[in-house]
């Protein structure tokens, strides 16, 4: 799972920066095309839902997505992690 | 049977299964009768609301679940309902309102008849719109027209008003209840059609709640999807013109009337309780050269009927108000129009109408 | 999933940046997905105001009615077809001012609907006028020198009028709010969930909560759990006038209306 902020919906209120217990979000530094400072993500792989949702089979935490007034935060499925095939060259 | 009870029976015969009401003289008997009858009919609901605003709201809500809903009230309650009547027009909600008119303004004469709400029913809520209003002049017509009102409401998706008055509402007469009455339900919304896309007659199909069409209903100016679009002049214009035209263009279809003595020179245009005096004068006393046009449908005003009297020299309009429909008649004809307004709660005596005929004939 | 309940083609919605209404909408939809209700058999209603625009973004049948009358309309819908699930979104002005009478009568009848009141202490859509829940001393465009009228306590009002389920949370307490809405939806009879929420544009701007996060911090610090609140009251502890109790206040089974027959 991967966290994603939908830039077409985000209005830059920064509520996600307040509620995330892992401080994954921080206020944006650059305005986007609509002039909105969309929050940036700091090492989103720390999000427990990203890592553990499939293991537990249910939504974990989810504060950011619940509080986001603009329905802009969601998780998108990622391909399961495949250990990189290592090719050894002789 | 009493006129009010006949209204209630007419509604039940037409399959009315939701009544939201609030007691008000002189319409209370309608609610009382519904309260005793409806709980014994499966799938029917009578509820006494906290005020007339809520009554009107409740019947609109019920109508959107597909129920045939109705309320009954009188002047002061009718004024309270105005806001939600506009809402019903804008959202094209089929419902029936019975207004047993009493003397106004304000609390006025609760136990006396009047026809003072005829303009309010047409123009009372804000904005441009059109409605259908029927006027019974006897207990039998109370029954027949109430049943018919439901069909018109469903056919045109609009609130339909039964504008009776205290005289008719509290009158006791013989009533013949037919074995069955005609029932016309609204067109269904075809699959794949947006909820407010209308056909050539301007009436969209009806998709009530709970059938999975996800209809969004709003009193805001909305597009065909039902979504608000409040700042686009074209959207507002096309919506409101459609709401008005779907009724105004169908005035021939809606018109319900009786014409007696087409060749008369002095023609009474009458509706509601004064019809009774007119019948006395024309049919029984046979005052020479008189005829009448009884309007059972007052709104939309069927003005083409006024052209059906080739020899007419004057239209005489007896009303229990100071002249409302007489103005509407004046708008459409070039001959003399004599309003005979009478307020206070009593019917015109025949002499008053005979006097008006004399005035029309230049005898006075 | 919550997303299936949204009319995605209408998003982003009209709410200002940081408005609490969107959060509350999320929580209600989350609670509804937990109930497993059929979308085709659920109806959302609302009156007029910011809060009342919410049903327009939800993919169900919805009725956006006249100002204050949503509960009266809901009574009609529910009584005419008790098998429908009925949820009403309303605001503080909509519910407590113009719709006050319908509100208490809805509670008295104990009709089986769930009312979610987005209480932002202000008339947001018309630009920030004082409402019946504007706290004493707070400024709005119609109370420029501070509100002088005592506000309504919607929770006490609903309890006194007879509602079966009454809770209060804030737009900060999203998890608790979701649970409360879930309980409200499943409790037969009238359920009121009052949600204190931020209006950064109209209320916050004039009352020193300029950023949405400022008001969130206020909600976080001043919302006191009901049990703790009662303890504080008992021990005579000094309670800040800004504070308010949150939690579930009533869950009971008075006679109800509009519940489908068990047949």
In sequence order, what are the residues at sequence separation of 6 or more whose Cβ sits closer than 8 angstroms to the Cβ of residue B73?
B21, B22, B24, B27, B52, B55, B81, B97, B98, B99, B100
Q: Taking each helix axis from N to C terminus, what angle separates C100-109 and C70-80, rounded to the nearest 10 degrees?
A: 30
pLDDT more than 90, % of chain B: 98
Contact C60, C44 (CB under 8 A): yes
Nearest to B299 by CA among B120, B82, B157: B120
Per-residue CA distances from A58 to A45, A81, B19, C1, C82 (Å): 18, 19, 46, 12, 32
Residue A60 structural domain: 2-76
The complex scores an ipTM of: 0.95
Among chain B residues, the shortest Cα distance to C61 is held by: B214
Residue with tokens 């090719």: A87
Residue A86 maps to a domain: no
- Domains, chain B: 1-254 (3.40.50.970), 258-360 (3.40.50.920)
Q: C79 contacts in B (CB within 8 Å)?
A: 18, 45, 47, 58, 62
User: pLDDT tens-digit profile of A17-41?
Assistant: 999 999 999 999 999 999 999 999 9
The pLDDT of residue A81 is 52
Residue A85 maps to a domain: no
| Alpha helical stretches, state H, chain B | 3-13, 28-37, 52-63, 75-91, 118-123, 139-156, 166-169, 233-248, 251-254, 274-279, 325-332, 350-360
SS3 B314: strand
Q: B22 contacts in C (CB within 8 Å)?
A: none
Q: What's the gap in Å between the CA of C133 and the closest CA on chain A?
A: 22
Residue A63 maps to a domain: yes
Contact C175 A63 (CB under 8 A): yes
Report the Cα–Cα distance between both ends of chain C, in Å, rounded: 30
Give me the sign of the Cα torsion angle B43, B44, B48, B53: positive
The secondary structure of C18-72 as a DSSP string is T-HHHHHHHHHHHHHHHHT--GGGEEEEE-SSSGGGGGGGBSSEEEE-STT-HHH
**Structural domains of chain A, count:** 1
Is C200 an 8 Å CB contact of chain A?
Answer: yes
Q: A17 contacts in C (CB within 8 Å)?
A: 213
For residue B334 the two structure tokens come to: 């070039």
Residue A15 maps to a domain: yes
Q: Tally Cβ neighbours within 10 Å of residue C220.
A: 13
CATH code for position A33: 3.30.70.20
Q: What's the gap in Å between the CA of A89 and the closest CA on chain C?
A: 48
Report the Cα–Cα distance between both ends of chain B, in Å, rounded: 42
Residue A46 maps to a domain: yes
User: pLDDT tens-digit profile of A52-86?
Assistant: 888 888 888 899 999 999 999 998 887 665 555 55
In CATH, C2-251 is 3.40.50.970: yes
For residue C174 the two structure tokens come to: 């999203």
Contact C48, C198 (CB under 8 A): no
Residue A23 maps to a domain: yes
Residue with tokens 């018309």: C126
Q: What is the pLDDT tens value at each position of chain C, 263 positions in all?
A: 688 999 999 989 999 999 999 999 999 999 999 999 999 999 999 999 999 999 999 999 999 999 999 999 999 999 999 999 999 999 999 999 999 999 999 999 999 999 999 999 999 999 999 999 999 999 999 999 999 999 999 999 999 999 999 999 999 999 999 999 999 999 999 999 999 999 999 999 999 999 999 999 999 999 999 999 999 999 999 999 999 999 999 999 999 999 987 64
Phi, psi dihedrals of residue A22, rounded to the nearest 5°: -100, 5
Domain extent listing, chain C: 2-251
Residue A83 maps to a domain: no
Interface test with C, best of B63, B65, B222 (most C CBs within 10 A): B65
Q: Helix, strand, coil: what percent of chain C each, to 5?
A: 40, 20, 40
Contact B209 C77 (CB under 8 A): yes
The enclosing H or E element of C108 equals: helix C100-109
């Amino acid at each position: 799972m991967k966290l994603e902020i939908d830039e077409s919906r985000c209005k830059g209120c920064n509520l996600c920066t307040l509620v995330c217990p892992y401080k994954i979000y921080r206020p944006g530094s650059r305005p986007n095309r609509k002039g909105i400072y969309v929050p940036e993500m700091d090492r989103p792989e720390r999000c427990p839902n990203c890592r553990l949702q499939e293991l537990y089979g249910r939504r974990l935490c989810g504060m950011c997505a619940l509080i986001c007034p603009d329905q802009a935060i969601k998780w998108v499925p990622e391909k399961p992690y495949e250990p990189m095939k290592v090719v050894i060259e002789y | 049977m009493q006129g009010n009870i006949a209204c209630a029976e007419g509604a039940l015969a037409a399959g009315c299964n939701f009544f939201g009401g609030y007691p008000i003289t002189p319409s209370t008997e309608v609610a009382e009768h519904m309260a005793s009858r409806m709980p014994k009919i499966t799938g029917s609901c009578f509820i006494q609301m906290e005020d007339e605003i809520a009554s009107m709201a409740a019947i609109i809500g019920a109508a959107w679940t597909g129920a045939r809903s109705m309320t009954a009230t009188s002047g002061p309650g009718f004024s309270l309902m105005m806001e939600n009547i506009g809402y019903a027009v804008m959202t094209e909600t089929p419902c029936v309102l019975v207004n047993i008119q009493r003397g106004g303004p304000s609390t006025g004469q609760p136990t006396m008849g009047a026809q003072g709400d005829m303009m309010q029913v047409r123009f009372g809520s804000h904005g441009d719109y059109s409605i259908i209003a029927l006027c019974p002049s006897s207990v039998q017509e109370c029954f027949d027209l109430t049943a018919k009102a439901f069909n018109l409401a469903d056919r045109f998706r609009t609130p339909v008003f039964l504008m009776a008055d205290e005289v008719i509402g509290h009158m006791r007469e013989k009533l013949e209840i037919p074995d069955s009455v005609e029932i016309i339900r609204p067109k269904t919304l075809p699959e794949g059609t947006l909820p407010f896309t209308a056909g050539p007659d301007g009436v969209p199909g009806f998709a009530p709640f709970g059938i999975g069409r996800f209809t969004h209903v709003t009193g805001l100016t909305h597009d065909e999807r039902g979504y608000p679009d409040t700042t686009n002049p074209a959207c507002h214009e096309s919506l409101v013109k459609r709401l008005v035209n779907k009724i105004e263009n169908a005035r021939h279809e809606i018109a319900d009337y009786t014409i007696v003595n087409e060749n008369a020179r002095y023609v009474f245009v009458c509706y509601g309780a004064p019809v009774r005096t007119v019948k006395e004068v024309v049919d029984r006393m046979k005052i020479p050269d008189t005829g009448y046009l009884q309007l059972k449908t007052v709104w939309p005003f069927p003005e083409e009927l006024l052209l059906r009297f080739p020899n007419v020299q004057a239209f005489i309009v007896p009303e229990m108000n100071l002249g409302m429909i007489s103005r509407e008649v004046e708008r459409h004809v070039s001959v003399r129009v004599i309003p005979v307004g009478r307020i206070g709660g009593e019917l015109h005596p025949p002499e008053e109408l005979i006097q008006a005929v004399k005035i029309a004939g230049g005898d006075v | 999933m919550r997303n299936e309940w949204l009319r995605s083609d209408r998003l982003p919605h009209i709410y200002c940046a940081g408005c609490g209404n969107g959060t509350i909408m999320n929580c209600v939809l989350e609670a509804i997905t937990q109930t497993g209700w059929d979308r085709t058999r659920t109806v959302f209603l609302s009156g007029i105001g910011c809060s009342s625009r919410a049903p327009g973004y939800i993919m169900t049948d919805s009725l956006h009615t006249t100002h204050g009358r949503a509960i009266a309309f809901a009574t009609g819908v529910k009584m005419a077809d008790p098998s429908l699930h009925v949820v009403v979104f309303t605001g503080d002005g909509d519910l407590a001012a113009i719709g006050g009478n319908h509100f208490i009568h809805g509670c008295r009848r104990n009709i089986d609907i769930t009312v979610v009141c987005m209480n932002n202490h202000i008339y947001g859509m018309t630009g920030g006028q004082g409402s019946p829940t504007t706290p004493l001393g707070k400024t709005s465009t119609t109370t420029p020198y501070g509100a002088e009228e005592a506000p309504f306590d919607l929770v006490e009002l609903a309890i006194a009028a007879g509602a079966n389920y009454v809770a209060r949370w804030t737009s900060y307490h999203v998890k608790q709010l979701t649970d409360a809405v879930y309980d409200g939806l499943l409790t037969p009879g009238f359920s009121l969930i009052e949600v204190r929420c931020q209006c950064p544009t109209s209320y916050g701007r004039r009352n020193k909560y300029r950023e949405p996060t400022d008001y969130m911090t206020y909600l976080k610090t001043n919302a006191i759990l009901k049990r703790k609140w009662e303890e504080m009251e008992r021990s005579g502890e000094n309670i800040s006038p800004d504070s308010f109790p949150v939690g579930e206040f009533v869950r009971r089974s008075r006679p109800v209306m509009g519940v489908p027959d068990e047949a």
